[in-house]
Amino acid sequence: MTQPPVPEAPDDARWQAVAQRDPAADGTFWYGVRRTKIYCRPSCPSRRPLRPNVTFFESPEAAQAAGYRACQRCAADRVGAVATALARAQHLLDTEPAAPSLKALAAAVGFSPFHLQRVFKAHFGVSPKQYALRARTERLKTHLGAGQSVTAALYAAGHDSPATLYAPATDQLGMAPRAYARGGQGVQVRYAVVTGPLGPMLVAATARGLCAVRFGEPSALQAELRAEYPHATLTEDPATLAPYTEGLQAFLAGRPLPAYPTDLPGTAFQQRVWAALRQIPPGETRTYAQLAALIGQPGAVRAVARACAANPVALVVPCHRIVPKAGTGSGGYRWGAARKAQLLALEGALAPPF
């Protein structure tokens, strides 16, 4: 029964690209429709012709020499149109402090939003929106690496308000998993222990952002950090960490928490839970079931609870805002129920943000 595979004819591959409107094929060939004598890019949004009506060309010139006219919808004769549009879009995303919307971006490069989204993703592997997040994160890292304070770096990187930082920072600034798997080898972790209304608090950060905020006895806190990052360079450095420790202490005195970048080692699932926790506004609470629903996995309540318990950064990832069902108290907390009750009382007293 077995037969030798029939080699795929080049035109079959080209027809596949046309049938799928594959933007990655743009510029590699053009197709003409015999009946209308019009030629197009593979990604042209116009209705697909029937296969027998289609012929292929190596260049717009070849199509024109055969008597075909360029399609107006896909600007088939402008060889560099896609490359030019992509370069302009990339430049705008790299340089605009506030990432333009897809609609604005498309208008700026002269494409429809739909078409731009397709060719951009085909070329860069990510959508313009994802690209903008990465670009902003790269700028943030550059500014932090240059020794700027965290807050100054955030604003320089185009985070116009704390709210815009929350999810992106957690998504994009994760510690390189391999570095963490090696016990933090090659990673510089700076830390400081400060005092406050909840007792001693250890605050630690890598160059990328906060990696630990914990309560307890100072010696135990330091031992815990060392156990977690056995091969990292650990340095007690209160001066460098002042932007973090001062903001966290101010928060415990009733001020809003600054939008801090984080560098959290964790699984993709844990990262999603922690990102969702950061979406719960101060003064509000959720149940584990609500949080599970929020990440789109209503059946994963136990796993969500475990991820909350593994939260490495108290306050910044506000796992204290998760409470049992109404009327059963404020529930457990990695750093003690008394601290949790204190925090919830503190946030209940916060004035609503304007």
Contact between 86 and Zn ion per CB under 5 A: no
Dist CA 248 CA 246 (whole Å) = 5
71 included as an active-site residue: no
CB of 65 to Zn ion, least distance (A): 18
CB of 102 to Zn ion, least distance (A): 22
Nearer to Zn ion, 63 or 221 (CB): 63
Q: Which of 71, 144, 154, 232 binds Zn ion (CB under 5 A)?
A: 71
Evaluate whether 345 touches 338 at the Cβ level (below 8 Å).
no
Dist CA 170 CA 210 (whole Å) = 11
Nearer to Zn ion, 68 or 335 (CB): 68
Nearer to Zn ion, 30 or 288 (CB): 30
Beta strands in the chain (DSSP E): 30-33, 38-40, 54-57, 69-70, 188-194, 201-206, 209-215, 233-236
Contact between 82 and Zn ion per CB under 5 A: no
Taking alpha carbons only, the member of 43, 332, 326, 153 closest to residue 31 is: 43
CB of 44 to Zn ion, least distance (A): 3
CB of 75 to Zn ion, least distance (A): 8
Evaluate whether 313 touches 279 at the Cβ level (below 8 Å).
no
Residue partners of 3: CB distance under 8 A and separation at least 6:
none
Q: Which of 17, 18, 44, 234 binds Zn ion (CB under 5 A)?
A: 44
Q: Which residues pair with residue 201 across a beta bridge?
A: 194, 215
Contact between 70 and Zn ion per CB under 5 A: no
319 included as an active-site residue: yes
Contact between 73 and Zn ion per CB under 5 A: yes
CB of 39 to Zn ion, least distance (A): 8
Q: Which of 17, 54, 74, 116 binds Zn ion (CB under 5 A)?
A: 74
Question: 30: helix, coil or strand?
Answer: strand
**Dihedral angle at the C-alpha atoms of 89, 129, 19, 87, nearest 10 degrees?**
20
Contact between 40 and Zn ion per CB under 5 A: yes
The Cβ of residue 220 has, within 10 Å, a number of other Cβ atoms equal to 12
Interface residues with Zn ion (CB under 5 A) are 40, 44, 46, 71, 73-74
Residues belonging to the active site = 40, 319
